Structure 1
Amino acid sequence: MPESPVLLVAKEKFQEAEQALAFYRGQDFDVAGDVTDIQDYLNYNNGNLLHNIKSVATLKSCSILTALFVLVEMAPIATRSIYDDIIFLSGDIYGITKTTCTITFMSMIQVGIIIAAYLIDSVGRKKLLLISTSLTSLTIALLGIYYLVLAFNEISAGSYHYIVVWVLYSYGIGYGIGAAPIVYCLIGELPTSGAKRHTVLVVFSVFWIFTYINMFLYPLAIDKIGEGGVLLITSSFYGVAFIIVLTFFVETKHKTLVEIQMELKKKELNNN
């Protein structure tokens, strides 16, 4: 893997940059235009973080991406800590082993991602995210209700275990359709070129800080309010993500970066 073409252009190693681009693009691709684009990017990207976030579009895109990453990626970490040991552990009652359940669940996520790959440019990012966050919120809420019932009546809830496994599979498909892949695609679409690297740094820094805190709080929350209560809170994460997408997110399908930024600025311009 060659060095980053951006770094090479920044160090004025243009020949090495063209060789690196030729490696990534292919020998038959004309890389001269890409070198010019990188130079423009570097010239536009001279501002520091505080300078870049003064832009309304940059601030909005950074806020939207940070919120989506925290909400839709923290929830699966919490959820998997429960289902892997509790829901699938008793799956052999129905002749399905825990290993089979886990493999099938991960396959459901892959099915969702394949569906998203085929539909993302025809249906659009926003619709897929709305479908994904609503389906995942509903299925996690159903799991929470299951555990609340299980806490009061183990025999009654146990009889619905087979349905619960399919609810979990539906969660996997819902997560794969939007929450899993699309939030990562948006990193290349929402931020302006000049603020892209700063946006990525902010988004992932905040995300991993929240994830780190979550891993400590999660076991404590189970002890205090039980698995059902934790899952209902987790479900609300997706609910908030649904509201954010519905209210603030702009569709990026078939739009240039300039068009996306103008839409992000539109409300602010109208207010002024």
Structure 2
Amino acid sequence: MSDTEDADETSRLLPAIPHRTYVYADELSPILEHAVSSDQMGNPEQETKKWPQYVAALAATGGALAAGTALGWTSPAGPLMKADGYGFPVSDEAESWVGSSLNLGAAAMCIPIGIIINYIGRKGSMLALVVPFLIGWALLIWPQNITMLIIGRAFIGISCGGFCVAAPLFIGEIAHKSIRGTLGSFFQLMITIGILFVYGVGYKANVVVLSIICGVIPIVFGAIFVFMPESPTYLVMKDNSQSAIKALKWLRGEQYDPSEEIAELQNDAEERKTNSVTFGQAMSRKTTIRGLVVSMGLMFFQQVSGINAVIFYTNAIFEAAETDIEPAIATIIIGVMQVIATFVSTMIVDRVGRRILLLISDSVMALCTLALGIFFYMKDQNKDSVENLGWLPVLSLCVFIICFSLGLGPVPWLMIGELFAPDVKGLGASLNGTLNWLLAFVITKTFVNLNTALGSGGTFWLFSGLSILGTIFIFIIVPETKGKTLNEIQTMLAGEKETNETDEERN
């Protein structure tokens, strides 16, 4: 199809929206899930490799590693800034703005990235996000005042928000359904690794050296990711089938015959244009509405679970336990637990399922924040009453972090790529990303006020109550998507009866 015909079709579909603003190339991703392989097609000569998909996914999540270092930067950098690490004074209020401005930058980028990745591609967009990363870190390395620090963090947030939308969608388009959950969980895993890395470096480095090291990571990501292929579905959407064939051979192996998959991608694109609906009709579908309710509900309960409060209280919890562990070492211990638990999640999410991980995660987290609330309430009333209970907050903290990293941390991001039909997936991802970052900003900025109003115990009890509500929400509303194709998930969201036919029967 010519570019003119494509533009005319898009104008008809989205008359009030700029060219392809919310139409993502992964509108073709259901076809990817029928990628031809020897075990699915019964053709012993057709070979499909999976390790190149792991390589491409890991390369794409290099941006998540960079985002993780940005998210964890404030923990070691905060005390260093106050200790005149930059040569000018930094107040508590200024420090809070330096930390939270990243969330604002990220929220502002979530929707624009949906436009950008349709014009310059998934790969081009993620490579372009290196630029605001470098600008931001440069401002943090050579700041002259607080304003430069805040602007620098906002620039870094722009890249973080962009990667949170672009990278998961890119991975979803290149991954086979049998490993989609595992590859999709890589994003959160790399974020936790980035956080742990910056905790470790910040234990000894000063704030300038710390920022320099963090600024090198986006450069390394760009140098590696430039050799990865573009999404085949995006290339087909752009009528570049020859490049799509090369990308599929890179991802599936040189022995793989991509002709049938390319034909299916092209046929699906034509069929989607022929049977297209308006943007308003797509957004008013039952599947779209339920997808938004599920995904945005998960994002809401993820942020109000108390994760930021627990991290904030890490040092106080270890001090209350009288462990004599340095605050910096305590944060490193927490970072290690996050990485291990998230790694375990990537290994089991396609076996255990999304829903069961979410239920276990949120319900146990509710018990942990309940216990933390009881401990700090008792401590505020009578410090001697918790003299022999120092183990309780440490145990609650550790279990909370492990459970969050197993379920409520990575799974909501994974499910964003599964819950929406192709013609609204881009908007769905952008809306969820925006909500998540805005909630993170609000909770980070208001936590001190909340703690003052309710007290330490009351604040943790509030988080416990919200986690209980989240568990009920997951049990009643959230569907299981494990092992289902994207088309089957849409059928389930529509409330239609699922077919029991096997992959071989469909083929």
2:464 is aligned with 1:235: yes
- The answer as to whether partners of 2:362 and 2:470 remain within 8 angstroms in 1 is yes
Q: Trace 1:63-82 onto structure 2 (pairs within 5 A).
A: 63-82=293-312
Q: Quick one: distance in 2 between partners of 1:239 and 1:42? A: 46
Q: Quick one: distance in 2 between partners of 1:219 and 1:35? A: 55
TM-score with structure 1 setting the length:
0.85
Cα gap change, 1:42/1:55 in structure 2, threshold over 3 Å: closer, same or farther?
A: farther
- The answer as to whether partners of 2:350 and 2:482 remain within 8 angstroms in 1 is yes
How far did residue 84 of structure 1 move? 2.5
| Correspondence for 2:377 among 144, 148, 166 | 148
- The answer as to whether partners of 2:371 and 2:392 remain within 8 angstroms in 1 is no
How far did residue 43 of structure 1 move? 5.7
Q: Where does the alignment leave 5 or more consecutive residues of structure 1 unmatched?
A: 268-272
Cα gap change, 1:170/1:24 in structure 2, threshold over 3 Å: closer, same or farther?
A: same
| Correspondence for 2:289 among 52, 59, 67 | 59
- The answer as to whether partners of 1:132 and 1:175 remain within 8 angstroms in 2 is yes
Deviations 1:13-46 (A, max 9, x none): 2222322333333333333344345442586386
Cα gap change, 1:47/1:129 in structure 2, threshold over 3 Å: closer, same or farther?
A: same
Cα gap change, 1:139/1:42 in structure 2, threshold over 3 Å: closer, same or farther?
A: farther
- The answer as to whether partners of 1:49 and 1:198 remain within 8 angstroms in 2 is no
Query: Which residue of structure 2 lines up, in the alignment, with residue 130 of structure 1?
Result: 359
Amino acid at match of 1:22: K
Amino acid at match of 2:341: G
Cα gap change, 1:47/1:220 in structure 2, threshold over 3 Å: closer, same or farther?
A: farther
TM-score with structure 2 setting the length:
0.48
- The answer as to whether partners of 1:90 and 1:98 remain within 8 angstroms in 2 is no
Amino acid at match of 1:60: R
- The answer as to whether partners of 2:362 and 2:403 remain within 8 angstroms in 1 is yes
How far did residue 221 of structure 1 move? 0.9
- The answer as to whether partners of 1:52 and 1:194 remain within 8 angstroms in 2 is yes
Q: Where does the alignment leave 5 or more consecutive residues of structure 2 unmatched?
A: 1-227, 497-507
Identity across matched positions, percent:
26
Of stretches 193-202 and 54-63 in structure 1, the one that deviates more from structure 2 is: 193-202
| Correspondence for 2:248 among 6, 21, 34 | 21
How far did residue 163 of structure 1 move? 2.3
Of stretches 111-120 and 10-19 in structure 1, the one that deviates more from structure 2 is: 111-120
Query: Which residue of structure 2 lines up, in the alignment, with residue 182 of structure 1?
Result: 411
Query: Which residue of structure 2 lines up, in the alignment, with residue 270 of structure 1?
Result: none
What's the secondary structure of 2:257's corresponding residue?
Answer: coil
2:236 is aligned with 1:9: yes
Cα gap change, 1:153/1:228 in structure 2, threshold over 3 Å: closer, same or farther?
A: same
| Correspondence for 1:215 among 418, 440, 444 | 444
Cα gap change, 1:31/1:234 in structure 2, threshold over 3 Å: closer, same or farther?
A: farther
Q: Quick one: distance in 2 between partners of 1:89 and 1:36? A: 63
How big is the alpha-carbon RMSD for the aligned residues of Structure 1 and Structure 2? 2.6
Of stretches 210-219 and 4-13 in structure 1, the one that deviates more from structure 2 is: 4-13
Amino acid at match of 1:149: M
Amino acid at match of 2:391: Y
Deviations 1:24-80 (A, max 9, x none): 333333333443454425863865653322221121012111110121134354324
How far did residue 103 of structure 1 move? 2.9
Figure out how many residues of one structure are paired with residues of the other and give that number.
266
Query: Which residue of structure 2 lines up, in the alignment, with residue 86 of structure 1?
Result: 316
How far did residue 259 of structure 1 move? 3.0
